[in-house]
Structure formats: structure tokens, C-alpha cells
Amino acid sequence: MDIAYYASVLAVLSTLVRQPQTLSCNSNYSPAREKKYVTTLAIYNIWLHPLSAYPGPLLWRAFRFPFLHAMITGKLPHKIRHLHTQYGAIVRLAPDELSFLDPTAWRDIYPKNFVRPKEYKDQPPGKAAANLIACSEQEHVRLRRVLAPGFSERWVMDEQESVIQGYIDKLVDKITARTEDGEGGKGGETTVDVVEWMNYIAFDIIGDLTWGSSFGCLDGLRYHPWIQTVSQFKTALVVAATKFYPLLNGMLMAITPPSALKEVMEMWRVTEEKVRERVQRGGKGRADFVSVVLAAADKQGEGGGERMTQEEMEVNAMLIVAAGSESVTTVLVGVISYLLRNPEELATLTREIRDTFRSEFEITGAALKNCVYLNAALNEGMRLCPTIPDSMRRLVPAGGAVVCGQSLPANTVVSIPPWASYRSPRNFARPDEFLPERWTSPEKEGKDDSKIAFNPFSLGPHNCPGQNLAWMELRLILARLVWRFDMSIPPGVELPRWEEQGIWWFWDKMPTLVSFSQFR
């Protein structure tokens, strides 16, 4: 059935790939000619293309559409993992794309001058300003340089920890109140959906750290409309898929009514308003990412430094908020889920936190860096629940390049799929098990693991700039929850199986109910 489905759709898409006159009343056009074109294209891609020697499913090697179908249905990373199991360490995912499991590919691809393919350089509707995703390499260097002070470890420790701790205070107070008044539970215990609550705190923190004010999620225990818009990645991926067929993309954009973008435009209205208000305050108040950008502009006015335009500030603020919140939520929910399924590991982490700190006030970012098991549990959570499970695709530059000993032609799309790589027995022993000990005892539990395969924040000039901030948030939130509460799976509740969730760029996380009771 799948083959018939692909064949019928590809017959239409192949028309769109051709010259614009194909869509017009061209007297030379005929279904027979189109059928011949599709057949010729398939024969070339499967048997004559420079990548024809690499294994993969027949239709995937012939056309891009099976790849895109898996992407827009939320199954692509799962499918890639299955294909690597079936075909080996190198799989051809499309006529011009290869996926690698060999961990040495990380340094062959990401620290080099491999750029992001144009189809993956998304520009938000109505915005043309350079951002960390859609920009030239020169612009990317400039934007990273402007934002760098706000992502430094020292700045995170000095300027951001007090803000983060304040929101964690609010989180634990809200949960404590629910255990005391019986809301959501009874008898000193309450049940909450940790997907919602981790989203609340993650968005409140990153909003405050970006433009100096939160979304108020923890105050009202509800999502802000901005957040609900960001979660609609399914539609965004459909639009992204059409970029491989420019005529189809143009037609889609032409017929999309303004009402379809209403929620997106509301997100931009809020973003513009927040950034504008923060810019008007100038250097007054507490430091945040906008103040970092303003300081860079002031420095340029003194004869040094660089700056961002107002629209660049808005677009990059949006990216920081979206990425900074979703990643923290994913790891925390994933780690909590696996800890609850593995009571011995949860007990070990609980002992470490409660034995190390005599009071909750002693729990600081600096102190938590020395908590070995906490850091191991978070690493294992990022391995099993990577924040971006799909691949970060790059383009082989002009002149070609060598990846894992393979000489590849220019314009080949290459990548390492984190979800498949981290779950592969080629890279990790017992890959589907939650084993924090693999990070604490490499000579024993982790002796058969390839640690160079694990790069949760990627590598090179396009790696995640916010990893210092992410680590502080993850450590502080998890440690303080463990110190304050005993967590358990509510009676009669079955936690979602993480690996069965859909993936539309980010994980489509299912509700995850967890019981909290006060420890002291």
C-alpha cells in the first residue's frame, strides 16, 4: 500500500520539480512524457548517481518524498533508527543524503565548513532578518559574537542563577501548597503532569532571562498563548517539506489565507512588544539577553564590538525562548520518567542530593557541578531523550570532502542522527537501558560505550550556545525537586513509553503524571 501511495503522489510532485511551464498549458506536455521522466529519474538515482553504492530503501534512494512523508508524520527519527538497524552504519536516506552512525563522523562534519542546507534555513513568516538558523556564515559569526557574553559560564553563574532559583522557589512552593490543601491529590500528596509543570518553569525562566519578564505560567498554572503557538511544529514541518519542491512551496504560500497565520502573528506581536519594552528600559534593571545585545551596540558606538538590528533582536529572542524552554522540558521530563521506572537509580540520586546538602539553601549551581550521580543521570537522560532527536543536516562543500573515510561529492547532505546513534549497540552497550553508571564508572559499566558518540549540544561553530545555561537549569531544578519531594508513579497510572512518542522536530510529549509528597 505504501508503494502505491508514494507512486501516486510522486507522479504529481515530479511534475512540480520540473520547469514552470510544466504547470502551464504546454502543448508538449503529456502524461506519458511525465511518466518517462519519473522513470528516468528513478533509474539514475538508484543505479547511476554518485551515491548509488550506499544502501537504503529503494524508494528513498530514488526520490526525496518518502523521507519527507516520514518527517511530516512524526516518524522520521524512528524510521532512520530502523533503517540503520537494517542497512548498517551508513544509510542513504534520499538521492543526495547520507546518514552516519560512526562517532568519528561528528568531527568530520560539524567542526568543518559544512553549512546547513537552504531547505533547513527557516525564516519566520513576514521576517527577513538574520537569525542563528537562517543566515550566512558571516552573519552567524556576528550574531554568536554579540550573544556570547550572555551564554558564558561566568555570566550564567553571576547574573542568571538568582533568577533561576527564584522560579524554582515558586515551583516547589506551588507543589508544596497542592500537597497541603489536597488540590490534585490528598493526604499530603499531589499528582501533576510534569510535562505541563516543567514547561511552565522552563518558559518562565527563559522569558525572564531573554527580555526581563516571564510568561506568568507558574503564577496562573497555565500556558501562555505564545507557548501554544510555538508547540505547533507539525504545520511548520509540512511547510518545510514543500521547500524541496519550490513550485509547490510557492503555490502553498500564495493560497495560504492570512487567518491561517493568526496565531503566529500573535506570537510575533508579543515578541515585538516584549523586546521593544526591554529596549526602552535600556541599561536599567537586571541583566538579560537583550541587555547583552544593547551593551554590544554601545560598545560599537565607542569604536568596537558589533550590533543587532531591532528585527534581529526580535527574531533571535524568539529562537532563544523556543529552544531554551523546549530543551529543558524534554530532558527533565525524560529523566524523571526514567528515574521513576528505575527505583534503585532514583534512590541513589536522592541519597546523593540529601546527603550532600543539609538545607535547600545550600543547593547552588557551583555545588551541583560536583554531584557525580546527578550529572550522570542528566547525561543518561540526554542520551535516551535527546532534545533534538532528528539529525542536524549539513552540506558537503564545493570540491567534496571525506566523512568516515568515504570520499563524498559536493552538495551531499550528511548528518549523524542523535536518536539512532545514542540507541545503537554500535555505540553504547545495553543502549535502551537507563544506566547513569555508564558515566560514573567508565572502566566498568561504560567500558563498551563510545563516549565520543555523545554530543548532546553538537560540535563546532553551530553548536548550542546555551549549554552553560541549560546545565544550570537542569541541575538546579532536578536537585531541588529531589531534595524537597519524594516522587512516585501514581497508583493505576502507566507512564508513557518515551520511544513511542511522535517527533515533529521536538518530541510530542504525552502527559506524564507523577505523584509528589513532601520529604521534610
Residue-level length of the chain: 520
Q: What is the three-class DSSP state of 191? A: strand
C-alpha grid cell, residue 233: 511544529
Binding residues: 464
Tell me how many degrees the CA angle 264-219-226 measures, rounded to the nearest 5.
Answer: 5
Binding residues for heme: 464
Q: Please tell me the distance from the alpha carbon of residue 31 to that of residue 222, in angstroms, as a whole number.
A: 54
* Cβ neighbours around 49 below 10 Å, total: 17
* Cβ neighbours around 221 below 10 Å, total: 13
Q: Please tell me the distance from the alpha carbon of residue 1 to that of residue 158, in angstroms, as a whole number.
A: 59
Q: Please tell me the distance from the alpha carbon of residue 102 to that of residue 295, in angstroms, as a whole number.
A: 43
Q: Please tell me the distance from the alpha carbon of residue 110 to that of residue 138, in angstroms, as a whole number.
A: 17
Phi-psi region of 458 (alpha: psi -120 to 50; beta: other; left: phi over 0): left
Which one-letter DSSP state was computed for residue 45?
A: I
C-alpha grid cell, residue 399: 570540491
Tell me how many degrees the CA angle 246-239-112 measures, rounded to the nearest 5.
Answer: 75
Please report the beta strands in 125-282, taking only residues with DSSP state E, as ranges in sequence order. Answer: 189-193
